[in-house]
Each structure stands twice: as structure tokens, then as C-alpha cells.
Amino acid sequence: MSKRILVVDDDPDIRQVLQDRLNSYGYVVETAINGREALDALKRDAYDGMVLDIRMPEVDGLEVLRQTRKNHPVLPVVMVTASTVRDSVIEAMGGGAQAYLLKPFDAAQLKQAVERWIGPAG
């Protein structure tokens, strides 16, 4: 059975690229357009991992990560960000993220991070 990944990004183009790429690797992908939608999805369904944008309106990725750690302490989370603000990356890693990718990242970087932390698709 293929692993399920929740992709959370407010940018529709990035979200679509992540979904398409991860689907092509064999993962089952669901998406959320913001942090609130991601938290609702995590309450409803079980996932093998999450790819999460740091900077989003309303509920940002760091808050999603904090709440995820309370309810799903071992769920692998790979953070993605366009920001090179070191404090955000440090906070994400300190908050329990397994890895982070700086946008723009290439397909090989994405595949390597997801396979390492979430595991092979099937």
C-alpha cells in the first residue's frame, strides 16, 4: 500500500508541483491550502508524513508543526520555505521537523528528503 502524504502550501503552483511530483514517485497525496485546513485534515485522516510550507497566512507552518507535535508526535514533517530567514528554519527544526527544503528545490532534493524521512512510497 502506498504511503499517504499531506502537502500544505498556500501557493497553488507549488502545491500542484509537489502533488504531481510525489504522485509520480508513487505516493498518495492529499493537499491543504492553509494551516487551518491542514490541522482539520490531520484530525480526520491518518498520514505517513507531511510536506509543510513555513510561511502561510492565518495559521503558519510553525504553528501547524507545534500542534502536530502535540497530537502526532512521530509524524514525519518536511518543511519547505522560500525564506532564508535562519530563525524560521532553526525554529522549525527545533520544533520537531525532520528536514527542510529551500524553494526553489529540485525533484531530486524532494525525493531524497521524502524517502529518507517518510520512507519509500510503497
Q: 25-53, pLDDT tens digit by residue?
A: 999 999 999 999 999 999 999 999 999 99
CATH class name, domain 4-117:
alpha beta
Instruction: Indicate the domain borders of the chain.
Output: 4-117
Report pLDDT for 28: 98
Radius of gyration of the chain measured on its C-alpha atoms: 13
Question: pTM for the complete prediction?
Answer: 0.93
- β-strand partners of 29: 5
